[in-house]
Structure 1
Amino acid sequence: MKYFGEGLSEEHKALNQIIRKKQRTEEAIKIFLDIHKQLHRSNIKDREENETDRLFGDLKPWEYAVMPGREDETIAWVVWHIARIEDLTMGILAARGDQLFNEDWCRKINSPIKDTGNALSDEEIMAFSKQVNCQKLLDYRSAVGERTREIVSRFTFEDMKREVNQADLMKIQREGGVTLQKDSEWLLEFWGTKDVAGLLLMPPTRHVMLHLNDCCKWKEKIRTRTKFFLV
């Protein structure tokens, strides 16, 4: 069921059709940036209030740390997960540079982990969600989003078709972005099959769309149910 992002799937399909066409690189970047701005809060400069603002704008602190059903995660975990993956894939793999996350962000967010959180158990997700500073976590995600826009705005057709570099994948692992656990390490293999265009079509767009849709669904569950799987 669609809870978030009406029309975004159609925009994403349009992006997919042109992103590797040399004569349409500028158009592809424009579509990417339009999709991307709708997936981040409007405190990324020059944005009008959007659906993402409405998702996070009235959340109570305790609502970030509720696991509504057995198959669900928490909103806090999702914010961390999508921010870390966008940071790693855009900063290190797409831009061939560095991630934004550092010890200062880790301290401000009060995070017990540095990786994407893929391999956490339900109990670990709950402990994480109750510990982190959700406002600082949202601030980190906004900073990641702004940096992504700066990176992609400069891309050329040659950048789009560039394949992910193995050394950059190892840099992610070396810096703790993924762990050696099976549920985490597979990300390196997955990202390693992509070119930059393929990265743009998943971590900062499609991946986020799916997770924010989940968050909207969970928000509704949290506000209409009295019993939850974990809280």
Structure 2
Amino acid sequence: MLEESQLNPAQLAKQRKVRRTIIELGLFKKRGLKKRTKRNLALSSLERKRINNVEYILGTKNGLMNQIFNRSVLILMDLKQREAWNENHKILTEIILKPEEHSRTIQLFLSQHALLHSSAIGNTGKLTLEDEVLANLDEKTFRNYPAATPDTKNSIAWHLWHIARIEDMTMNILIANDQQVLFTQSWYEKMNNDFSHSGNNMSEAEIAELSSRIDFHSLIAYREAVGRQTRQVLSLLKPGQFKLKVEQNRIKRLFDENAVTQNANWLTDYWSKKSIAGLILMPATRHNYLHLNKCIRIKDKFHKQIKNPL
């Protein structure tokens, strides 16, 4: 499958439709679908259409049986990927400060990071947490605020904005001492959003404004650009640099560029005590992981509420 950057708008729309189809196939019961493949005519027209869509994109002659196998693997991988991600994060924590493990650290980080962004970034062929968030994500669900979930009421729009901003400022100001991605390629203007800070300590009115105004496609593209830049920044680090402490003049830049507001100075106090390794282990990885999982729970609950209104 071509990377998204190589596709024209029509091809991109088709690829996203197929990605949704693959996710939807996961709703089928594995055993029941296996039985029904022995008598294809028993498949519903909707199921047949979904399977044909996947057969077309995969280009397989025996697409039905192959997709049954692939879908069962994907169902298992959803949990297995999460378990593996957490185990690998523990390993990353153990080796990141060891200069002799530098190459391994970089490769493990790139693998971990790839599962937190669009599958186009890591080019691994695996569905990622962001892919799962975006599958069947319509704008109403994306903008819904307040969200009725136990651990957050912020919208998916806010969560994706927040993790993109946190990754951008920590990687490009605190580690690279370079320009934020936000102020390149007119991302700030494209997203139609008046906020340039991290989103911490926002009022309910501000969250509602961001959720209703921010441009969906530009935000997704901005987050992808941030992810690609992070991978470049980390790949250029030298052995021993993970031990370096965050420089205070870079903390000052966060305020100068309104990346962090004065009422969120607890955040900069936290980062100022960290090494580069600490920023890698939280803002660039674990922080994304936690918020993407929240997005998935928000989406699932909102879709269930639509299907089963009180």
> TM-score, normalising length from structure 2?
0.69
Structure 2: distance between partners of 1:98 and 1:82? 17
Q: Which whole-Å deviations, capped at 9, do the CAs of 1:172-229 have from their partners, x for residues lacking one?
A: 1100101111xx22111111011111110000100011001101111111111159xx
The partner residue of 1:41 within 114, 118, 125 is 118
Matched, 1:158 2:235: no
Quote how far apart the aligned CAs of 1:49 are.
4.3
Q: Paired residue for 2:218?
A: 136
Q: Tell which deviates more after alignment, 62-71 or 171-180.
A: 62-71
Q: Paired residue for 2:190?
A: 108
Q: Paired residue for 2:138?
A: 60
- Once the two structures are superposed, the pairs formed by residues 68-83 of structure 1 within 5 Å of their partners are 68-69=147-148, 71-83=152-164
Q: Paired residue for 1:11?
A: 88
Structure 2: distance between partners of 1:87 and 1:21? 25
The partner residue of 2:204 within 122, 146, 163 is 122
Paired residues of 1:36 and 1:205 also in contact (CA < 8 A): yes
Q: Unpaired segments of 5 or more residues in structure 2?
A: 1-78
Paired residues of 2:243 and 2:275 also in contact (CA < 8 A): yes
Amino acid at match of 1:77: W
- The RMSD of aligned alpha carbons is 1.8
Q: Paired residue for 1:205?
A: 285
Structure 2: distance between partners of 1:6 and 1:221? 23
Q: Unpaired segments of 5 or more residues in structure 1?
A: none
Paired residues of 2:132 and 2:296 also in contact (CA < 8 A): no
SS at match of 1:225: helix
Paired residues of 1:5 and 1:209 also in contact (CA < 8 A): no
Structure 1: distance between partners of 2:247 and 2:222? 26
Give the structure, 1 or 2, with the largest relative contact order (CA under 8 Å, sep 6 or more). Answer: 1
Q: Tell which deviates more after alignment, 156-165 or 218-227.
A: 218-227
Structure 1: distance between partners of 2:126 and 2:158? 23
Amino acid at match of 2:148: G
Q: Which whole-Å deviations, capped at 9, do the CAs of 1:19-46 have from their partners, x for residues lacking one?
A: 0011111111111110000000023263
Structure 1: distance between partners of 2:205 and 2:90? 37
Paired residues of 1:42 and 1:49 also in contact (CA < 8 A): yes
Amino acid at match of 2:117: H
SS at match of 2:182: coil
Aligned residues: 223
The partner residue of 2:297 within 210, 217, 221 is 217
Structure 1: distance between partners of 2:278 and 2:297? 27
Q: Paired residue for 1:87?
A: 168
Structure 2: distance between partners of 1:190 and 1:134? 30
Structure 1: distance between partners of 2:179 and 2:168? 9
Paired residues of 2:111 and 2:122 also in contact (CA < 8 A): no
**Comparing both structures, which one devotes a greater share of its residues to helix?**
2
> TM-score, normalising length from structure 1?
0.91
Percent of aligned pairs sharing the same letter: 36
